[in-house]
Chains A and B, each alone.
Chain A
Amino acid sequence: MSNVRRFAAVNTKIKSMVGKLLTKEDYQAMVLLKTESEIFDYLNEHTYYANIFKDIEDEAYTIANVEFHIKNYIITLYKKINCFITGNYQKLFRLLMKRFETEDIKAYLRALILGQDISEMYLEFPNSSFYSKLDYRTLSSSSDLSDFVECLKDTIYYKVLKLYLNESPDRMLFYMEMNLDRVYFSKLSVEIAKFKGDEKPIFEILQMNIDFLNFQWIYRGKKFYHLLPEEVLNYTLPNGHFLNYETLKKLSYAEDEDELFDIMSTTHYKKLFQHNDRTELYLERDMDRYLYKHFLRSERESSLNMVTVVTFTHRLEFEMRDLFTMIEAKHYGVSSEELKEYLIRVI
């Protein structure tokens, strides 16, 4: 009964938001379009996105600007959802939102390592105060990488970032990104574990996310950055769903990626590793598709709990990424058939 009180409002709100998501027909129509500006036109004429783009002047329809608007639109939706959640669940939701903070920090790090000018980067994150207590202006005013890390002194990221400041530039970003995720997901695990019992589906989602993260780190760490097996193993997160420590250990000590895939095809995720020579190409998409399907299923099965919220945030993000993929693909003249292969949503 108490869940009705807690979640009736937010679920209704989300139902109305789900109604504004793109439909399969939208996808099918957009895939067939020729250029990115046709996509913008389609979004403006047939979808809810018209409301988001209404402030953009005709000449300002650049890819970057459209992406900027979509990203911010999503955060405004989250802000609305936030108003409908209370108590511990709001705390959890705020923590889920902190994901944006880690992503923003990654963006800063990337720019700094590539030697780009970050003095105006804070303008790209106008909603940062919603999910972060950091002052992005101060972050933007830092002169170099170590200065930037000093700005994060009072955060959970400081300790792990500082360790890698002396790493060689080609590996530094990988180390830092991995450890940011690691810190974030450990914290998330701890918080979600507090909701014992009634939030099992959320924990499952998190665990699958952890599985995929672990696999990606091992894969990238070994293939591109030549990390030591022991090292890679230590960086993996505990509490995965189907990949336990033993499997992770086997993966870490695998000789090459073929062996990696072989080991993976003995696990629950075997379906994702059956493209043979094209496994690598579709790996990321397949993982996302797997999660997407899982979300749709758990959303159907759940009623009146936090799962609806968590699932919706993921669906929204997947839609955004698909949209970006479509826009980019049109820009670079990828054929419609090929584009379909890159989308998370199956059409």
Chain B
Amino acid sequence: MKLLNLVIEKSEAHGVLRDIALQEKIHLVNAMTEINESNFKLKVDEDLIEEVKGLCLIDNFTEKKDYKKIQERLYKLMDYMGLERVLDKTLLDEAHDFEGLETEIYSIYDELSEIRQRIDVLEQEKKDLDSMDIINGIDEDIDFKKLCNLHFFKVKFGILTKENMERLTKNYDNIYAAILHIGRKGHNEIYVVVSLKELELETDRILRSVYFEEIKLLEDYLDRPSNMIEKINNRMMFIDQELEGLRLEAQSYHEKYGKKLMVCYAELMLELQIEQMKKLLAVTNNYVYVTGWVSESDTEAMESYFQKYGSKIVFGVRDVSDVTLKLSPPTKLKNNWLFKPFEILVNMYGTPAYDELDPTSFVGLAYMLLFGAMFGDLGQGLLLVLAGYFLKRKSEDYGGILMRIGLFSAVFGFFYDSLFGYEHLISKIFPEKLFIRPMENMNSILIAGVISGLGFLMISYVYSIVNKLKKGDIQEGIFGRNGIVGVVLFLSVLFFVGGSFLNLTWVPTNLLKVVILLSILLMFIREPLANKLKKKKRLYHESASEYYVESGFELLETFLGMLSNTLSFIRVGAFALNHVGLFLAFHTMASLIGTITGEVTMFILGNILVLGLEGLIVLIQGLRLVYYEMFSKYYTGDGMAFAPVAIENIGGER
């Protein structure tokens, strides 16, 4: 990552921002904070003095353009012509003058004004008629035409909730209006309110206080309810036909203006994006300041790209090491196709910090192996692959993960000799020597789980040491429990214990004792030791006694942790057994039933249950091992993802 600083003459600012949005290579940060942190450094030549002087009067970008009007009209036109709001970025290759486009859209809008108005009128009528739909629920046969044309009385028609009607009834003796319940539709109670025209104002206010929802009845349709419904339906049909015709007419403009509208739409999205970007800029009277992160490989390309603006732009690039600590660079994860989907698992925990190793490939490998070992079944594994393939259309990452772990499950399943829970089936085709069945090799499976766990832990230690030393953290990186001393201690204890249990004579127990004691001592005094090495004056960040008490407990926890971390991996073997065990139960049940149908039902039921329940558990357990046993050792994940500015299809979300 490199930090890019740009000073642009205001006249060119729009063009540069446009380029940035189209390039999709710059992760913008707030230029104001940048300047305040005095990170904003440029190569200053004599002739740039004016630009730099301008920095004295900095402000945020306050100019705001209002795109509401054009947006509304453009969307309307697109709807009329049946254009979908998709963003075609290739239309932006050639620069268009947005203001020009705007006037063009307005003129198209005017050109279509006749059709437009007719559509609007009809749609409004349709809406009104739709709301009149409630007359379906009227039970009484009332002649609305007569009722609504009374000379001294005003009639209102609408909906009132039961609760509010009760309120009115309680005080009915004081209300100068007749309120009649005439029907119900769904949850809506329908009422007619008749009051003297002179008292209309008072009645209105009272009705409003009970949230009466008036429904306007259109003059032309007043009649008995059944006749009204018929009239409305007829009219609706007519409106629909009419609208259809008008839409066809509007679509005939499609050819003429379709392209133009799409271009305008893309440009509009770009302009809206630029508005967003402006929030991150700083401006002075004549210049605009932009700050952003660029990945190292793109830096030169960007520099040469902006050359085209010549002297109107000043370009400054700085290395990460040169930037103050307050501003941490974003992280761009780079992984090959095999491990790419697992980035989502890493990001779920936290994005790696910039100076941290990206653990994705390790996570991917570990997760695939762990899942495969715990859930080894050739048939079900292949089913998972299939499920992953379909899921991929919905979610690229999750589908990808499912396919990969399914594949590993199938591979392990092959060697476990397990097909949909049936053992000894695959081995009929292949030579016996290939297979290791969990149930028949219980101990070796459990031990293999622990040993593979040790392997994963060792790799985690390596990650931890590299990460910590990269940060210059000697205290934890060398003397910490997840540092070099920690590994030495872990391995010595392992060999010591292993040696004495298995009576291995080649293990130098005396030497190990010395190493263990020495490591414990180093860990115990790691903070003062590290500070001494760094030649810091203060040896402890708290009082010495507090430190040693804490350190003592940490040591205890370290030993407990070693034990629990290692044994935790027994579950890998245990779940492999579990898988077979569950099927054993189903086979027993099937043989108890004894019929073919029973066998088939049990086979299907068993497979569904195991795939659903155990599959889910193993999915979680695998994640737990990765997050808890491994990540807690070496991973902080407090970074920020690299998110370059890109145009978003805002209008497309409806």
Contacts and interface: CB of A to CB of B under 8 A. Distances in A.
Contacts of B67: none
Contact of B211 (A163, A227, A245): A163
Contact of A231 (B164, B170, B209, B211): B209
A231 B171 contact: no
Interface string A209-249: 00000000000000000011111111100000000010001
Contacts of B206: 228, 230-231, 234
A234 B202 contact: no
B211 A230 contact: no
A85 to B, nearest CB: 28
Contacts of B202: 228
A206 B205 CA distance: 28
Interface string B170-192: 11001100000000000000000
B31 to A, nearest CB: 20
A160 B211 contact: yes
A230 B170 contact: no
Contacts of A164: 208
Contacts of A231: 205-206, 208-209
Nearest to A227: B205
A159 B174 contact: no
Contacts of B209: 230-232, 234-235
Interface in B201-260: 202, 205-206, 208-211
Nearest to B209: A234
Nearest to A245: B170
B476 to A, nearest CB: 31
A101 B230 CA distance: 47
B168 interface: yes
Contacts of B205: 227-228, 231
A166 B164 CA distance: 22
Contacts of A228: 202, 205-206
B326 interface: no
A233 B211 contact: no
B167 interface: yes
Contacts of A253: 174
B170 A163 contact: no
B interface residue count range (under 10 / 10 to 19 / 20 to 34 / 35 or more):
10 to 19
Q: Tell me whether chain A's interface is mostly helix, strand or loop, or mixed.
A: helix
A interface residue count range (under 10 / 10 to 19 / 20 to 34 / 35 or more):
10 to 19
Contacts of A229: 174
Interface string B287-298: 000000000000
A238 B167 CA distance: 10
A235 B206 CA distance: 10
A235 B171 CA distance: 13
A121 to B, nearest CB: 17
Contacts of A245: 170
B1 to A, nearest CB: 30
A249 B211 contact: no
Interface centre among A230, A232, A233, A235 (most CB of B within 10 A): A230
Contact of A159 (B167, B171, B211): B211
A235 B170 CA distance: 14
B208 A233 contact: no
A234 B207 CA distance: 9
Interface in A284-326: none
Contact of A163 (B167, B168, B171, B208): B208
Nearest to B66: A143
A231 B174 CA distance: 11
Nearest to B167: A234
Interface string A161-193: 001100000000000000000000000000000
A212 to B, nearest CB: 20
Nearest to A167: B208
Contacts of B174: 229-230, 253
Nearest to A252: B171
A159 B208 CA distance: 11
A145 B46 CA distance: 54
Contact of B168 (A160, A234, A235, A249): A234
B208 A249 contact: no
B175 A230 contact: yes
Contacts of B210: 234
A217 to B, nearest CB: 11
B610 to A, nearest CB: 34
Nearest to A235: B209
Interface in B155-169: 164, 167-168
A340 to B, nearest CB: 40
A303 B171 CA distance: 43
B516 to A, nearest CB: 43
Nearest to A229: B174
Nearest to B174: A230
A244 B432 CA distance: 87
Q: 5 closest A-B pairs (Cβ-Cβ)?
A: A234-B209, A231-B209, A230-B206, A231-B205, A234-B210
11 contacts: A163-B208, A229-B174, A230-B174, A231-B205, A231-B206, A231-B208, A231-B209, A233-B171, A234-B164, A234-B167, A234-B168
Given A230-B174, A231-B205, A245-B170, 4 more contacts: A159-B211, A230-B171, A234-B168, A234-B171
